[in-house]
Structure 1
């Protein structure tokens, strides 16, 4: 049976601190590259998903030669919502 020694404890603490600083150093080197790759991949996936919708919308609008003007909204001005009355408060001294 082995017993714990003070020198073994110090050695374990040293290895933990060394591992922490090595990991921190490597993370500063490689983490920005990894994040950049992930963001680029997500952008490519987004573009691939949106590509069919953009093509169909563009084809539909480019093939039509007629222009439709809706005059119903221009005759009736847009009403603003009335939320409530303005109340002016006066300070009492």
Structure 2
């Protein structure tokens, strides 16, 4: 096994630190844009679901071809009491 020299260690450490700060800088720029797109997409999905629910409620509450049913006359209702 070979030992790493001090200069290669410092170079690797500098690359890691620079990568970290570059990532941090880019996230400050792009994170708000990404979050805004995610929020807009979620809002569109919720509006679509709301519209579907409204359409379903309208279909179930107002039948299109409702025919009024005639009541059958079967006579008077008689309430019987039990005798002991």
Give the TM-score, by structure 1 length. 0.57
Match of 1:38 in 2: 38
After superposition, the CA RMSD in angstroms is: 2.0
| 1:9-49 residue CA offsets vs partner (Å, 9 max, x unmatched) | 10011001100010000000001000000000000001101
- SS state of the match for residue 3, structure 2? coil
Distance 1:44 1:32 in 2: 18
Distance 1:32 1:2 in 2: 46
Q: How does 1:1-93 map to 2 (within 5 A)?
A: 2-57=2-57, 60=61
Question: How much has 1:53 moved relative to structure 2?
Answer: 1.8
| 1:63-92 residue CA offsets vs partner (Å, 9 max, x unmatched) | xxxxxxxxxxxxxxxxxxxxxxxxxxxxxx
Question: How much has 1:8 moved relative to structure 2?
Answer: 0.6
Q: Any unmatched runs of 5+ in structure 1?
A: 62-93
Question: How much has 1:3 moved relative to structure 2?
Answer: 3.0
Structure with the greater alpha carbon radius of gyration: 2
How many residues are matched? 61
